[in-house]
Structure 1
Amino acid sequence: MTTIDVSAVRTRFTGQIVAPGDDGYDRARTLFYGGFDPKPAVVIRPSDPAEVAGVIALARETGLDLAVRCGGHSIAGHSVVDGGIVLDLAHLRAIAVDVDERTVWAQTGLTAGDVTKAVAERGLAIGFGDTGTVGIGGITTGGGVGYLSRKYGMTIDNVLAAEVVTADGQILQVDADSHPDLFWAVRGGGGNFGVVTRFKYQLHELPEVVGGMLLLPATPEVVHGFIREAAAAPEELSVIVNVMPAPPMPFVPEHVRGSLVVLGLVCYAGPAEEGAKVLAPIRALAEPIADFVRPITYPEMFPEGEGGEEFHPTAASRTLFADELDLPRITQILERLRTAPAPMRVTQFRPLGGAISRVADDATAYAHRGRAFMVNVASFLDGPDTRAEREQWVLDTAAIAENGAPGAYVNFLGDDGPARAREAYPGATWERLTQVKRQYDPDNLFHRNVNIPPAS
Structure 2
Amino acid sequence: MTTSSTTSSTTPTATAATPATTLDDLRTRLTGRVVEPHDADYDALRTVAAGGVDARPAAIVRPATDDDVVATLAFVRATGIPVAVRCGGHSSAAHSTVDGGVVIDVRDLLGIEVDADSGTAWVGAGHTAREVTAALAEHGLAVGFGDTGEVGVAGITLGGGIGFLSRAHGLTIDNLLGADVVTADGRVLRTDAANHPDLFWGLRGAGANLGVVTRLRFRVHPVRDVVGGMLLLPATAPVLAGLVAAAQAAPDELGVIVNVMPCPPLPFVPADVHGRLVVMALVCWSGAAEDADAVLAPIRSLAEPIADLVAPTPYAGMFPPDAPPEHPTVVARGLFTDVVDEPLAARLLDRLAEVDGMRVAQLRVLGGAIARVPDDATAYAHRSARVMAYVAAFVSPEDRDERAAWVAATAAALDRGVPGVYVNFLGEEGPDRVRDAYPGATWDRIAQVKATYDPENLFRRNQNVPPAAV
Which one of the candidate residues 277, 285, 288 is aligned to 1:268? Answer: 285
**Is contact 1:238-1:351 (8 Å) kept?**
yes
Q: CA shift at 1:313, angstroms?
A: 2.2
**C-alpha contact (below 8 Å) 1:4/1:41 kept by paired residues:** no
Distance 2:39 2:452 in 1: 38
Match for residue 176 of structure 1? Answer: 193
Of stretches 358-367 and 262-271 in structure 1, the one that deviates more from structure 2 is 262-271
Q: Match for residue 465 of structure 2?
A: 452
Match of 2:80 in 1: 63
| Residue 327 (structure 1) shift | 1.0
- 2:417 is matched with 404
Letter in 2 for 1:69: R
Q: Root-mean-square deviation (CA), in Å?
A: 1.1
Q: Deviations over 1:98-133 (max 9, x none)?
A: 010010000100011111110110000100111111
Q: CA deviation at 1:353?
A: 0.3
Q: How does 1:25-104 map to 2 (within 5 A)?
A: 25-104=42-121
1:332 to 347, 356, 379: 347
The CA deviation at 1:9 is: 2.9
In the alignment, which residue of structure 1 is the partner of 2:3?
none
Q: Which moved more, 1:4-13 or 1:330-339?
A: 4-13
Within 5 Å, give how 1:95-244 maps onto structure 2.
Answer: 95-244=112-261
Match of 1:353 among 350, 367, 370: 367
TM-score, normalised to structure 2, is: 0.94
2 CA distance for matches of 1:204 and 1:440? Answer: 32
Pairing of 1:436-451 with structure 2 (within 5 A)? 436-451=449-464
**May I ask how many residue pairs the two structures share in their alignment?**
450
2:432 paired with 1:415 = no
Residues of 2 paired with 1:303 and 1:222: CA distance?
24
Q: What is residue 5 of structure 2 aligned with on the other side?
A: none
Instruction: Give the CA deviation at 1:391.
Output: 0.8
Contact 1:208/1:271, CA 8 A, preserved across alignment = no
Match of residue 398 from structure 2: 385
Asked if the contact 1:252–1:290 (Cα under 8 Å) also holds between the matched residues in 2, the reply is yes
Task: State whether residues 246 and 260 of structure 1, in contact with CA within 8 Å, keep that contact through their aligned partners in structure 2.
Answer: yes
CA distance in 2, matches of 1:70, 1:407: 25
1:362 alignment partner, SS class: helix
Closer/same/farther in 2, CA of residues 168 and 263 from structure 1, 3 Å limit? same
How far apart in 2 are the matches of 1:126 and 1:103?
A: 10
Counterpart CA distance in 1 for 2:188 and 2:179 is: 10
- Structure 1 residue identity aligned to 2:345: I
| Whole-angstrom distance in 2 between the partners of 1:311 and 1:228 | 35
CA distance in 2, matches of 1:171, 1:5: 23
2:323 to 307, 331, 355: 307
**3-state SS of paired residue (1:255):** helix
TM-score (norm 1): 0.97
Q: What's the % identity of the aligned pairs?
A: 56
**8 Å contact from structure 2 (residues 385, 418) kept in 1:** no
- Report the Cα offset of residue 285 of structure 1: 1.0
Does structure 1 conserve the Cα–Cα contact (< 8 Å) formed by 2:262 and 2:358?
A: yes
* Aligned-residue offset at 1:324: 2.0
1:61, CA displacement in angstroms?
1.0
User: Secondary structure in 1 aligned to 2:258?
Assistant: strand
Shift of 1:4: 7.3
Question: Counterpart in 2 of 1:372?
Answer: 386
Amino acid corresponding to residue 465 of structure 2 in structure 1: I
Deviations 1:233-287 (A, max 9, x none): 0000011000000111212211111110011111111122211211111111111
Question: Are 1:429 and 2:442 matched, yes or no?
Answer: yes
Aligned residue in 1 for 2:10: none
Q: How far off is 1:385 after superposition?
A: 2.1
Residue 8 of structure 1: how far off its partner (Å): 2.7
Q: Report if the CA contact (8 A) 2:336-2:385 is conserved.
A: yes
* In 1, Cα distance between equivalents of 2:417 and 2:125: 35
Off by >4 Å, runs of 4+ in structure 1: none
The 2-side partners of 1:195 and 1:14 are apart by 17
CA distance in 2 between counterparts of 1:108 and 1:265 reads 27
- CA shift for structure 1 position 405: 3.2
Match for 1:369: what amino acid? R
Provide Cα deviations, 1:8-59, integer angstroms capped at 9, x if missing partner.
3322212022110211111111011211000000000001111111111111
Mapping of residues 277-296 of structure 1, within 5 Å: 277-296=294-313
1:322 aligns with 2:337: yes
Partner Cα distance (2:415, 2:134) in 1: 36
CA distance in 2, matches of 1:61, 1:292: 56
2-structure distance, mates of 1:202, 1:48: 24
CA contact (8 A) 1:210 1:271 kept: no
Q: Give how far 1:303 is off.
A: 2.7
Take 2:119 and 2:160, find their aligned partners in 1: how far apart are those partners? 21
AA aligned opposite 1:425: Y
Amino acid in structure 2 at the alignment position of 1:370? S
Q: Which residue identity lines up with residue 338 of structure 1 in the other structure?
A: A
The separation in 1 between residues aligned to 2:279 and 2:339, in whole angstroms, is 19
Tell me, yes or no, if structure 1 residue 20 matches structure 2 residue 33: no
Give the unaligned 5+ runs of structure 1.
Answer: none
In structure 1, distance between residues paired with 2:52 and 2:205: 26
Structure 2 unaligned spans of 5+:
1-19
Measured in 1, the distance between the counterparts of 2:466 and 2:87 equals 22
Whole-Å Cα distance in 1 between the matches of residues 48 and 450 of structure 2? 27
* Letter of the structure 1 residue corresponding to residue 403 of structure 2: R
Distance 2:416 2:452 in 1: 36
- Matched-pair contact (CA < 8 Å) for 1:444–1:453: yes
Q: Deviations over 1:74-100 (max 9, x none)?
A: 000000111000000010011100010
